[in-house]
């Protein structure tokens, strides 16, 4: 049994609520307990850095300080939250001037950068491990071909080490392999979906997400798999953004775990692009 502090961020409580459910189903199966970060606030996403960097650090610092007080590592499933939290945490640890400045702003809270910030792939690797995944699968996913899609900011962390290769990550590939799926090889693992522009410049989001969908289809995938709620949403919204061609289902990594462990997906009905085709391919082992 291991406990982690869970930082859901805004999307896992609203537009991607079913991602939260699916993470909880998967984690509790492997004995990972999540305690939600008490009174967490928004990390500011990309908006805060654009308006005022200090504010971005303070907003994230507030959450980190609350987490540090509890002492468990912080799990942030949203790639944007993860990136912001990880960068801020490292800076707090290494940059004394900035640390003092942040702590002055969030007083009476205090943060020293003592905990680790982890994303979903890291948690599954560190606290479950490939061997245990292989041992526990109950359903055969070998007829499902998946395109692993990491999205842009999960491993692109500037000026510091990332948990995987910044340009060609493979950690999610190994998890998907352990789950028994067939993997396609494609060059779009990290391409940007146009995340932040969905409202302000829909055409750009459409163009970029459409290319990713098209490419995944052309290499014969049955589904795209991602750990990022923003990527999932932009790709899943493609029918509304104007795409008339056939779409592939866009699954969360934890939903593939659900398929392999329980043979079904809890939040199936929340998907805009239907996932039944993929679920039907699952066979009992």
Partner 1 sequence: MDDLTFLNQIEEISGEKISTCYQCYKCTAGCPVATEMDIYPHRIIRHIVLGDREKVLKSKTIWTCLMCITCSVRCPNDIDIAHVFDTLRKVAVMEHMEAETDTWRFDKLFLDSVAKHGRLHEIETILKYKLEKKDLFSDTKMGIGMFLKGRMGVFPHNIKDRKQLRKIFKKIDSK
Residues that bind partner 1 (CB under 8 A): 10, 13-18, 39-42, 44-55, 58-59, 62, 104-106, 109, 152-153, 156-159, 166-167, 190-192, 194-197, 199-202, 204, 208, 233, 237, 240-241, 269-272
> Distance (Å, rounded) from C-alpha 258 to C-alpha 271?
15
Q: Which is nearer to partner 1, 6 or 30 (CB)?
A: 6
CA 164 to chain centre: 14
CB of 282 to partner 1, least distance (A): 22
| CA nearest to 148, candidates 191, 106, 119, 112 | 191
Q: Which is nearer to partner 1, 58 or 225 (CB)?
A: 58
CB of 271 to partner 1, least distance (A): 7
CB of 171 to partner 1, least distance (A): 17
Q: Which is nearer to partner 1, 147 or 261 (CB)?
A: 147
DSSP code, position 82: H
> Distance (Å, rounded) from C-alpha 193 to C-alpha 197?
9
**Helix extents (H) in the chain:** 17-29, 45-51, 53-70, 79-94, 96-106, 120-123, 130-136, 171-178, 202-218, 229-236, 238-241, 253-262, 276-280
Q: Which is nearer to partner 1, 136 or 243 (CB)?
A: 243
End-to-end CA distance of the chain: 27
Q: Which is nearer to partner 1, 53 or 132 (CB)?
A: 53
CA 127 to chain centre: 17
| CA nearest to 45, candidates 34, 56, 36 | 56
Q: Which is nearer to partner 1, 104 or 138 (CB)?
A: 104
> Distance (Å, rounded) from C-alpha 209 to C-alpha 63?
31
Q: Which is nearer to partner 1, 90 or 126 (CB)?
A: 90
Residue 234 structure tokens? 């932009």
CB of 86 to partner 1, least distance (A): 13
CB of 197 to partner 1, least distance (A): 6
Element (H, E) at 147: strand 145-148
Q: Are the C-beta atoms of 22 and 266 separated by less than 8 Å?
A: yes
CB of 141 to partner 1, least distance (A): 25
CB of 14 to partner 1, least distance (A): 3
Q: Are the C-beta atoms of 101 and 56 separated by less than 8 Å?
A: no
CB of 90 to partner 1, least distance (A): 14
Q: Which is nearer to partner 1, 2 or 42 (CB)?
A: 42
Residue 233 structure tokens? 């949403």
């Amino acid at each position: 049994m291991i406990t982690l502090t869970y930082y859901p961020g805004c999307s896992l409580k609203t537009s991607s609520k079913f991602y939260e459910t699916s993470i909880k189903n998967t984690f509790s199966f492997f004995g990972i307990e999540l305690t939600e970060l008490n009174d967490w606030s928004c990390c500011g996403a990309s908006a805060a850095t654009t308006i005022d960097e200090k504010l971005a650090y303070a907003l994230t610092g507030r959450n980190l300080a609350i987490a540090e007080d509890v002492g468990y590592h912080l799990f942030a499933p949203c790639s944007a939250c993860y990136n912001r939290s990880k960068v801020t945490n490292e800076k707090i640890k290494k940059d004394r001037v900035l640390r003092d400045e942040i702590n002055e702003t969030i007083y009476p809270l205090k943060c020293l950068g003592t905990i680790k910030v982890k994303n979903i792939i890291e948690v599954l690797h560190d606290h479950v491990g490939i061997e245990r995944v292989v041992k526990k699968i109950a359903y055969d996913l070998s007829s499902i071909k998946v395109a692993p899609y990491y999205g842009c900011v999960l491993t692109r962390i500037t000026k510091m080490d990332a948990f995987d290769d910044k340009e060609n990550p493979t950690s999610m590939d190994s998890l998907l392999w352990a789950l028994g799926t067939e993997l396609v090889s494609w060059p779009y693992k990290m391409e940007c979906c146009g995340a932040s522009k969905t409202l302000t410049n829909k055409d750009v989001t459409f163009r970029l997400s459409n290319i990713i969908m098209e490419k995944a289809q052309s290499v014969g995938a049955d589904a795209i798999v991602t750990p990022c709620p923003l990527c999932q949403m932009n790709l899943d919204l493609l029918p509304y953004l104007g795409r008339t061609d056939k779409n592939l289902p866009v699954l969360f990594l934890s939903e593939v775990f659900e398929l392999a462990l329980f043979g079904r997906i809890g939040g199936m009905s929340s998907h805009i692009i239907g996932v039944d085709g993929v679920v039907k391919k699952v066979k009992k082992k």
